[in-house]
Amino acid sequence: MKFYLAGPVGYGPEGTTWKDDIKCILRSKGHEVYDPIENDGKYPDVLKMNIFKFDPKKYYKEIHQIMQEIFFDDCDYITNCNYLICYFSGRSYGTVSEQGIAYYLNKFLHKNIQTISIFSEEFSPDEWVLCCSNHVFFSKEDALAFLQEIK
């Protein structure tokens, strides 16, 4: 099985720690896991995004260019995965976009992509996020137990 991890991808703890247990479980079972941050070496300007994001009006063109490349790569990975695992914490525009792409591929292009949504304690999902979720978990522990059962 192929899994795509969607959620905070910053280079601090918020962007990495939520994925550690998930990757460990899935990879130990022989599954392929795509973590977008592991692909960042392909984009030399991606580290500048952390600076650009503080002033998007000034750096619109730079952000647009970098994100166009990343977006097409991510869409390709999502198109070819079996599961999209979304971790929602704080502002999650990218995660919502990835979830919407998977939902469209599943419902309209008949790709068999299941979306697993995990909500951090402080995140309150809206109707759009819930609509695009096949499996919903309000704790990482419950989601990990579910992932343990996937063959």
Domains along the sequence of the chain with CATH: 2-149 (3.40.50.450)
Number of H helices, E strands in the chain: 6, 5
Q: Which residues pair with 40 in a beta bridge?
A: none
| Per-residue pLDDT of the chain in tens (151 residues, 90 and over written 9) | 999 999 986 655 666 788 999 999 999 999 999 998 888 778 878 888 878 989 999 999 999 998 888 898 899 999 999 999 999 987 778 899 999 999 999 999 999 999 999 999 888 999 999 999 999 999 999 999 999 999 8
What's this model's pTM, rounded to 2 decimal places? Answer: 0.91
Residue 67 CA, chain-centre distance (Å), reads 15
CB 27 within 8 A of CB 38: no
Q: Give residue 113's region: left, alpha or beta (phi > 0; psi -120 to 50).
A: beta
How far is residue 92's CA from residue 11's CA, in Å, rounded to a whole number?
15
